[in-house]
Amino acid sequence: MSTTPCTSLDGFHATKAAQQADELARTLMAAINAEDYGALDTILAREFLSYDIEGEVRTRTGFKKYHQNLRKSFSDLRIDVHENIGVLVENDLVALRAVVTGTHTGDYEGTPATGKPIQTSVSYFLRLRDDRLVEHWQVMDTYRILVKIGRIPGVAASFQHLLRVPESPEGIFQESLGTEFNAIRTGRPAKREESRAVGRRLYDGAIATGNPDDVDALAEDYIQNAGWTPNGRRYFGNAWAIGRGAMPDGRAVQTHIVAENDRVATISVWDGTITTSGQPVDFASADFLRIENGVAAEHWDTVDYVRLVPVLRPPATRQLTSPLSSPSYQIGSMMSLVVQFSEYGSTDVLHLVEVPPPPVGPGQVRIGVRAAAVNPLDWKIMQGLMRAVMPLELPAGLGTDVAGVVDQVGAGVIGFNVGDEVLGSSLSPAYAQLALADPASLVIKPAALGWEVAGSLAGAGGTAWAVLDRVGLAEARHCSSTPRPEAWERSRPNWPSHEVDASSATASERNHEYLRALGVVPVAYGDGLGDRVRALAPSGVDAVLDASGRGEIPTSIELAGGPERVLTLLAFDAAALGIQVHTDGGGPHLGRALKGMVELIEEGACGYPSHGPTPFPRSPRRSMRAAPAT
For residue 567, the cross-strand partners are 545, 580
In whole angstroms, give the CA distance from residue 97 to residue 121: 7
**At 238, is the pLDDT very low, low, confident or very high (cuts 50, 70, 90)?**
confident
Nearest Cα neighbor of 368 from 318, 331, 317 is 331
pLDDT tens figures, 455-492: 888 877 777 777 777 666 544 334 444 444 333 333 33
Sequence length of the chain is: 630
Report residue 270: phi and psi, to 5°.
-105, 145
- Strand 336-341 to 396-397 pairing: antiparallel
- What is the CATH topology of the domain spanning 460-603? Rossmann fold (3.40.50)
Task: Catalogue the E-assigned strands of 203-250.
Answer: 218-224
Closest C-alpha among 211, 419, 166 to residue 308: 419
The CATH code for residues 336-456 is 3.90.180.10
pLDDT of residue 473: 54
DSSP one-letter string for 470-503:
HHT-TTEEEEEE-S-HHHHHHH-S-STT--EEEE
pLDDT over threshold 50, residue 441: yes
CA distance 607 to 597: 10
Domain with CATH 3.40.50.720 in the chain: 460-603
Sign of the torsion angle spanned by Cα atoms 496, 497, 500, 501: positive
- B/e letters for 528-538, b = 16+ CB within 10 Å, e = fewer, are ebbebbeeebe
Q: Is the pLDDT of residue 122 over 80?
A: yes
Strands (E) in 104-171, as ranges, are: 117-129, 132-140
Omega cis (within 30) before 439: no
pLDDT given for residue 193 in this prediction: 93
State which CATH number among 3.10.450.50, 2.120.10.30, 2.60.40.10, 3.90.230.10 fits the domain covering 1-321: 3.10.450.50
The neighbour count for residue 335, using CB atoms within 10 Å, is 15
3-class DSSP state of 246 = helix
User: In this predicted model, what pLDDT tens digit does every residue of 540-568 receive, in sequence order?
Assistant: 777 777 776 666 777 777 777 777 777 77
Give residue 316's pLDDT.
32
Taking CA atoms, 16 is separated from 20, 21, 84, 308, 584, in Å, by 6, 9, 21, 42, 80
Q: What is the pLDDT of residue 214?
A: 87
8 A C-beta contact, residue 55 and residue 62: no
Q: For 605, phi and psi rounded to 5 degrees?
A: -95, 0
* Distance between CA atoms of residues 228 and 285, nearest Å: 13
pTM of the model: 0.56
Q: What does the pLDDT look like over 370-413, one tens digit per residue?
A: 888 888 778 788 888 877 777 888 998 888 889 988 888 888 88
What CA–CA distance (Å, rounded) separates 405 from 316? 15
Residues of the chain with CATH 3.90.180.10: 336-456
- The ranges of the chain annotated as CATH 3.10.450.50 are 1-321
